[in-house]
């Protein structure tokens, strides 16, 4: 085939392939245009997940009648003029590509009345058929209507998912932009149903609550930090409202929702040890940065950015969130359920207080308290649905040890229940972390080497694990083709009565299962985690008065003591307020 220039339609459709993946991409581009036009109100309507109809109406500055054809032409924009402008983009759009791309794969109509004019103009485009602008009537501002998305690109149409899925994506896209632009009133209607109604001039705090749900207010910690030209702020969810998906994690850089690996990593780091692996914190994070310090021209949908100094951004985000989490009292509160527990542990509907049901449920939006407690209860196989009021076994001063597993005490807000294993595990972990930050852990020579029988695969792990062993004070070498000799063992574990061969076998088994972690710090943390679990007091261990007092004193001393290293809570609080409610005193 001879080389030839592609027709404009094909060029635009190729661009659309990058920019418009699904209905939510169209909504995002149109809402961005409305924000760039200075709109204070934006109304989004979609039908059938956006596949049949997407309409975005704004009250922004509009498009002049004569400019309507240009607005839908490729590489036509009013937002930048020269390549120098690319060095510091201050608008959401700048590529001049969105309307042209969308018009090439849908039936689009553009109705706009520019500020200060009396008449609107209208332009209809269907694939390559571009009409002429015609006079129309309408209020100041712009309405873009997109029908039959992908009607002429069947391959793309096949990738549209169920209406509910596409609607959820659209909602997420609108929410992210609305979070970033609290001054703008935003509404979203899906198939005639109001999905979002966000009033203008909300202020960031209000807007975050409007989007995430006002009931989350007590669960959110506002944070802010400004250093070296970076202004970081936002709301960080308490560990209890972490989710199984990253959907409730929104990062906004200069008003632009982005997914950025270094920021995501910093968020995960800040929450390390506070939430369980596989869960994502709920967080909205705003980063304001000199536009010259961030390149937004790296991704067709502008979903990614590139920072000039990513490590500075990473460090600042990490310390902003970490500092706030450290300041906060992260002890989750819970309420006694007022109604009888229904099977499955959920709250039963209606009904007055059911005295004596003895069933507790977590009041927060996270997991039920029975789930929390079930962690410690697994060993005993109690029903995980109902926690009975159990007889007190031990009474120490003002602390009770219940079932040799939980410590019950009080603070100024109410009743405190501590999972002795979980708390001690955290204490051990922090102790180890501190020790290892100062050097290799102390090691104890064994009088007789401990011999562990292993298979070839585990024997082969000795070498890659070598550097880790040095850090935790283990000295081991092959002893023939199917055995390992342990010559020295971590004094810490030794003192806590942990059996060297058992520990080594478990470590090898885990590594055989999960592979050698190529991030040595992460591998070290995982191992310290395992060491703390082994060394910690177990559920079922009877504690002396002194041990109890020491453990509770350490709770005050160590960091992140609200959660065990796996992120499960160590402590729960039942507030006096809740008790009063339960007993009908209020």
Residues that bind ligand ADP (CB under 6 A): 29, 33-34, 37, 58, 60-63, 71, 76-79, 93-100, 142
Does 33 participate in binding Mg ion (rule CB under 5 A)? yes
Helix (H) or strand (E) segment spanning residue 223: strand 220-227
3-class secondary-structure state, position 256 = strand
Does 93 participate in binding Mg ion (rule CB under 5 A)? yes
d(CA 248, CA 211) in angstroms, rounded, equals 10
Does 143 participate in binding Mg ion (rule CB under 5 A)? no
In the complex with Mg ion, the residue whose CB is nearer, 33 or 405, is 33
Which of Mg ion, ligand ADP, none is residue 258 near (CB under 5 to 8 Å by kind)?
Answer: none
Which of Mg ion, ligand ADP, none is residue 436 near (CB under 5 to 8 Å by kind)?
Answer: none
d(CA 364, CA 516) in angstroms, rounded, equals 38
In the complex with ligand ADP, the residue whose CB is nearer, 60 or 300, is 60
In the complex with ligand ADP, the residue whose CB is nearer, 63 or 468, is 63
According to DSSP, residue 538 is labeled P
d(CA 185, CA 190) in angstroms, rounded, equals 17
Backbone angles phi, psi at 417, to 5 degrees: -120, 125
Q: Among 87-95, 178-186, 365-373, 477-485, which window interacts with Mg ion (CB under 5 A)?
A: 87-95
Distances (CA, A) of 238 to 79, 115, 484, 556: 40, 45, 45, 19
Question: What is the closest distance, in whole angstroms, from the C-beta atom of residue 97 to Mg ion in the complex?
Answer: 8
In the complex with ligand ADP, the residue whose CB is nearer, 64 or 317, is 64
In the complex with Mg ion, the residue whose CB is nearer, 93 or 567, is 93
Which of Mg ion, ligand ADP, none is residue 94 near (CB under 5 to 8 Å by kind)?
Answer: ligand ADP
Closest CA to 62 of 45, 74, 43, 78: 78
3-class secondary-structure state, position 143 = strand
Q: Among 33-41, 208-216, 232-240, 386-394, which window interacts with Mg ion (CB under 5 A)?
A: 33-41
Name the β-bridge partners of 27: none
Question: What is the closest distance, in whole angstroms, from the C-beta atom of residue 206 to Mg ion in the complex?
Answer: 27
Check residue 562 and give left, alpha or beta (phi > 0: left; psi -120 to 50: alpha): alpha
Which of ligand ADP, Mg ion, none is residue 65 near (CB under 5 to 8 Å by kind)?
Answer: none
Out of 98, 160, 176, 422, which residue is the one contacting Mg ion (CB under 5 A)? 98
In the complex with ligand ADP, the residue whose CB is nearer, 142 or 282, is 142
Q: Give me 583's structure tokens.
A: 């007993």
Which of ligand ADP, Mg ion, none is residue 104 near (CB under 5 to 8 Å by kind)?
Answer: none
In the complex with Mg ion, the residue whose CB is nearer, 26 or 242, is 26
d(CA 22, CA 28) in angstroms, rounded, equals 10
d(CA 19, CA 154) in angstroms, rounded, equals 17
Which of ligand ADP, Mg ion, none is residue 60 near (CB under 5 to 8 Å by kind)?
Answer: ligand ADP
Does 300 participate in binding Mg ion (rule CB under 5 A)? no
According to DSSP, residue 347 is labeled B
Which of ligand ADP, Mg ion, none is residue 78 near (CB under 5 to 8 Å by kind)?
Answer: ligand ADP
d(CA 235, CA 328) in angstroms, rounded, equals 13
In the complex with Mg ion, the residue whose CB is nearer, 29 or 210, is 29
According to DSSP, residue 146 is labeled E
According to DSSP, residue 536 is labeled S
Which of Mg ion, ligand ADP, none is residue 37 near (CB under 5 to 8 Å by kind)?
Answer: ligand ADP
Which of Mg ion, ligand ADP, none is residue 282 near (CB under 5 to 8 Å by kind)?
Answer: none
Question: What is the closest distance, in whole angstroms, from the C-beta atom of residue 96 to Mg ion in the complex?
Answer: 8
Helix (H) or strand (E) segment spanning residue 232: strand 230-237
> Closest residue to ligand ADP, Cβ-based?
93
Rg (CA), the chain: 30
In the complex with Mg ion, the residue whose CB is nearer, 38 or 365, is 38
Helix (H) or strand (E) segment spanning residue 545: helix 545-557
> Closest residue to Mg ion, Cβ-based?
93
Q: Give the 3-state DSSP-derived string for 176-188, with helices as H, strands as E and coil as C.
A: HHHHHCCCCEEEE
In the complex with ligand ADP, the residue whose CB is nearer, 97 or 335, is 97
Question: What is the closest distance, in whole angstroms, from the C-beta atom of residue 464 to Mg ion in the complex?
Answer: 50
Question: What is the closest distance, in whole angstroms, from the C-beta atom of residue 81 to ligand ADP in the complex?
Answer: 11
Which of ligand ADP, Mg ion, none is residue 205 near (CB under 5 to 8 Å by kind)?
Answer: none
Residue 541: burial class (beta carbons within 10 Å; 0-12, 13-18, 19+): middle
Does 91 participate in binding Mg ion (rule CB under 5 A)? no
CB 478 within 8 A of CB 462: yes
Question: Residue numbers of the site for Mg ion (CB under 5 A)?
Answer: 33, 93, 98
């Amino acid at each position: 085939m001879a080389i030839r220039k592609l027709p404009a339609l094909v060029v635009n459709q190729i661009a659309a392939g990058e920019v418009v993946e699904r209905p939510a991409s169209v909504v995002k581009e149109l809402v961005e245009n409305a924000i760039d036009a200075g709109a204070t109100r934006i109304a989004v309507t979609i039908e059938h997940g956006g596949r049949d109809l997407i309409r975005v109406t704004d009250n922004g500055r509009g498009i002049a009648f004569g400019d309507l054809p240009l607005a839908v032409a490729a590489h036509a924009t009013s937002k930048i003029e020269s390549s120098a402008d690319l060095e510091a983009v201050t608008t959401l759009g700048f590529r001049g590509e969105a309307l042209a791309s969308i018009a090439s794969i849908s039936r689009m109509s553009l109705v706009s009345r520019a500020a200060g004019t009396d008449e609107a103009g209208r332009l209809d485009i269907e694939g390559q058929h571009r009409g002429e602008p015609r006079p129309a009537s309408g209020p100041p501002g712009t309405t873009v209507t997109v029908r039959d998305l992908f009607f002429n690109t069947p391959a793309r149409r096949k990738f549209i998912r169920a209406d509910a899925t596409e609607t959820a994506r659209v909602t997420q896209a609108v929410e992210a932009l609305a979070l970033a632009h609290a001054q703008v009133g935003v509404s979203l209607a899906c198939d005639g149903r109001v999905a979002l109604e966000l009033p203008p001039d909300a202020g960031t705090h209000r807007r975050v609550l409007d989007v995430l749900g006002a009931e989350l207010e007590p669960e959110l910690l506002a944070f802010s930090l400004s250093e070296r030209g970076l202004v970081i702020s936002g709301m960080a969810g308490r560990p209890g409202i972490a989710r199984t998906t990253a959907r409730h994690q929104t990062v906004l850089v200069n008003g632009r929702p982005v997914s950025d690996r270094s920021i995501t990593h910093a968020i995960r780091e800040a929450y390390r040890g506070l939430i369980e692996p596989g869960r994502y914190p709920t967080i909205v994070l705003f980063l304001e940065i000199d536009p010259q310090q961030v390149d937004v021209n790296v991704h067709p949908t502008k979903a990614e950015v590139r920072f000039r100094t990513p490590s500075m951004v990473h460090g600042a985000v990490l310390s902003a969130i970490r500092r706030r989490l450290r300041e906060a009292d992260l002890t989750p509160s819970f309420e006694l359920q007022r109604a009888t527990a229904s099977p499955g542990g959920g709250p039963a509907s209606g009904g007055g207080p059911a005295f004596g049901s003895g069933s507790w449920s977590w009041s927060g939006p996270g997991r039920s308290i029975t789930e929390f407690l079930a962690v410690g209860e697994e060993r005993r196989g109690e029903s995980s649905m109902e926690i009975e009021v159990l007889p007190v076994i031990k009474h120490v001063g003002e602390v009770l040890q219940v079932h040799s597993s939980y410590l019950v005490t009080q603070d100024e807000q109410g009743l405190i229940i501590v999972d002795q294993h979980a708390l001690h595990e955290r204490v051990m972990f922090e102790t180890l972390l501190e020790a290892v930050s100062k050097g290799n852990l102390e090691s104890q020579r064994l009088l007789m080497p401990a011999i562990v029988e292993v298979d070839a695969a585990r024997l082969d792990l000795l070498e890659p694990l070598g550097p880790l062993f040095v850090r935790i004070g283990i000295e081991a070498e092959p002893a023939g083709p199917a055995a390992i000799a342990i010559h020295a063992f971590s004094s810490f574990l030794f003192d806590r009565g942990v059996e060297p061969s058992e520990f080594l076998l478990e470590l090898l088994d885990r590594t055989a299962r999960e592979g050698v972690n190529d991030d040595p710090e992460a591998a070290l943390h995982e191992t310290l985690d395992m060491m703390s679990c082994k060394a910690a007091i177990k559920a079922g261990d009877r504690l002396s008065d002194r041990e109890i007092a020491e453990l509770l004193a350490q709770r005050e001393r160590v960091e992140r003591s609200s959660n065990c290293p796996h992120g499960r809570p160590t402590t729960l609080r039942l507030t006096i307020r809740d008790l009063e409610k339960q007993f009908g005193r209020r």
